[in-house]
């Protein structure tokens, strides 16, 4: 593992947790010896990326070199992984005005990397894909799902980029009477449509049978930046049920249970289902993860770092006022899903949390642009070997790989990346 920066998740992580005024029980302290270790892999993905003309992108030649201009991704809005451990990223292509707009071209919207970090495929038409590309998810049939936080649609694509299903209408959102896309706030007419969405952030496709319909493939959507609900559709796109609503300024544990932050920076931002058959939803600006049954009954609330978003901080002080600490979530590979890996873009930390206890055990990351640092940490995904992949937006605009180096993929087996 030479040439890689190691990140140890042990006593240092506990000190971080203590600094955040988070209690760690004696049992948790003993468990830190089994915490996963990660090393940032600065050689992944392989560079350079493809150039203009590759993978169906328009050919544009540089007037200075005469060669095709290289790709620039713009913001990396989502990361997701297929059954072969190929990593997908969805890119916004929003290049910085000079020099990027002069010496490069927007990358393909969807890029697929193989396990070595080489581009294996790329596709997507920005005139068809959602505006403001956001999260991505690869389902149990290896289809690729994409949401858009500047639009009103969630789309399902085949693995190679054929559009298979769309929920919602492009450019039309659940925000009556004008149906403009944007934060619906406390609009009593919003958060209700059975056909329209409003700036959805992410989605999860359930491989198991729905508790109501008995069918597989229910679509759980964090309907997100404009609306403030979780909404569930059938595999064919028929509305099934929903829950949520707008919370006020609150304590992250005791107030507004089951509701979501009201502003564009808050809202339900991630959604996933655990092996416990419960739905975990990031309530971003409210600095918490809310856990529900598949029919929307609230089971528990897990604070992340109160005082980051709109929630009150230490001693009741106002929060930092960032976009919050609960951004994205992935579970460890063991059957119990002992650990949660939680992306906290408000503090630029990837937290390692005890799923059962809901406590932060450790973590890594600081603000910055160097390998292992984060700038607008936005998403996290986990492969079968226990490696983590993070995506960054705004000024971060990249994907990073963190290799699990403790000879355990989370299921008690080696991950092929172990020390001697």
State the pLDDT at residue 265.
Answer: 62
Tokens 């700038």 sit on residue: 375
pLDDT of residue 19: 35
Q: State residue 28's pLDDT score.
A: 36
What's the confidence (pLDDT) of residue 31?
Answer: 43
Burial of 372 (0-12, 13-18, 19+ CB in 10 A): buried
Q: What is the DSSP letter of 77?
A: E
The confidence band for 324, taking pLDDT boundaries of 50, 70 and 90, is: very high
Tell me what percent of the residues of the chain surpass a pLDDT of 70.
88
- Strand, coil or helix: 26: helix
- Give me the pLDDT at residue 416, please: 59
pLDDT in tens, 219-245: 999 998 999 999 999 999 999 999 999
Rg (CA), the chain: 21
* Average pLDDT of the residues of the chain: 90
Least confident of 106-120, 231-245, 256-270, 405-419: 405-419
Q: Which pLDDT value is given to residue 314?
A: 87
Q: What is the mean pLDDT of residues 97-117?
A: 95
pLDDT at position 318 over 60? yes
| High-pLDDT (> 90) share of the chain, % | 78
Say yes or no to pLDDT of 415 above 50: yes
Confidence tier at 29 by pLDDT (50, 70, 90): very low
Cβ–Cβ under 8 Å, residues 144 and 198: no
Residue 14 or 152, more confident: 152
Q: What is the pLDDT of residue 7?
A: 55
- Per-residue confidence at 98, pLDDT binned at 50, 70, 90? confident
- Confidence band for 315, pLDDT divided at 50, 70 and 90: confident
Average pLDDT over residues 110-137: 97
At residue 394 the predicted structure's pLDDT band, cuts being 50, 70 and 90, is very high
Q: Tell me if 84 sits within 8 A of 93, measured CB to CB.
A: no
The secondary structure of residue 370, as a DSSP letter, is S
Q: Which helix (H) or strand (E) holds 16?
A: helix 11-19
266 — pLDDT class (breaks 50, 70, 90): low
């Amino acid at each position: 593992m030479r040439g890689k920066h190691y990140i140890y998740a042990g006593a240092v992580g506990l000190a971080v947790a203590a600094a955040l005024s988070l209690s760690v029980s004696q049992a948790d302290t003993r468990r830190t010896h089994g915490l996963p270790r990660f090393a940032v892999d600065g050689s992944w993905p392989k560079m350079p990326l493809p150039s203009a003309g590759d993978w169906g992108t328009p050919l544009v030649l540089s007037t200075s070199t005469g060669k095709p201009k290289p790709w620039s991704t713009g913001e990396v809005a989502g990361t997701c992984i297929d059954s072969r451990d190929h990593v997908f990223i969805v890119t916004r292509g929003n290049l910085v005005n000079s020099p990027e707009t002069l010496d490069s071209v927007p990358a393909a919207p969807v890029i697929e990397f193989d396990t070595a970090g080489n581009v294996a495929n790329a596709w997507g038409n920005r005139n068809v894909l959602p505006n403001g590309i956001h999260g991505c998810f690869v389902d149990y049939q290896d289809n690729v799902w994409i949401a858009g936080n500047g639009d009103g649609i969630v789309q399902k694509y085949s693995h190679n980029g054929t559009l298979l299903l769309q929920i919602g209408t492009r450019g039309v959102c659940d925000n009556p009477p004008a149906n403009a896309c944007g934060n619906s706030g406390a609009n009593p007419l919003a958060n209700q449509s059975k056909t329209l969405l409003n700036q959805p952030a992410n989605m999860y496709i359930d491989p198991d049978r729905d508790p109501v319909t008995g069918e597989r493939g229910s679509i759980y959507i964090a309907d997100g930046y404009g609306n403030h609900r979780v909404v569930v559709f059938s595999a064919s796109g028929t509305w099934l049920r929903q829950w949520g609503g707008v919370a006020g300024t609150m304590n992250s544990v005791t107030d507004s249970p089951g509701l979501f932050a009201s502003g564009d920076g808050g809202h339900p931002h991630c959604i996933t289902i655990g092996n416990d058959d419960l739905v975990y939803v990031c309530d971003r600006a409210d600095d918490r993860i809310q856990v529900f049954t598949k029919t929307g009954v609230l089971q528990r609330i897990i604070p992340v770092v109160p005082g980051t978003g709109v929630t009150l901080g230490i001693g009741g002080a106002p929060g930092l006022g960032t976009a919050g600490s609960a951004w994205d979530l992935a579970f460890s590979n063991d059957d119990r899903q002992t650990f949660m890996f939680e992306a906290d873009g408000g503090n630029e930390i990837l937290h390692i949390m005890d799923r059962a206890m809901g406590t932060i055990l450790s973590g890594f990351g600081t603000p910055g642009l160097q390998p292992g640092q984060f700038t607008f940490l936005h998403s996290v995904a986990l492969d079968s070997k226990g490696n983590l992949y993070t995506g960054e937006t705004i000024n971060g605009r990249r994907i990073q790989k963190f290799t699990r180096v403790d000879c355990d993929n989370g299921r008690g087996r080696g991950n092929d990346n172990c020390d001697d």
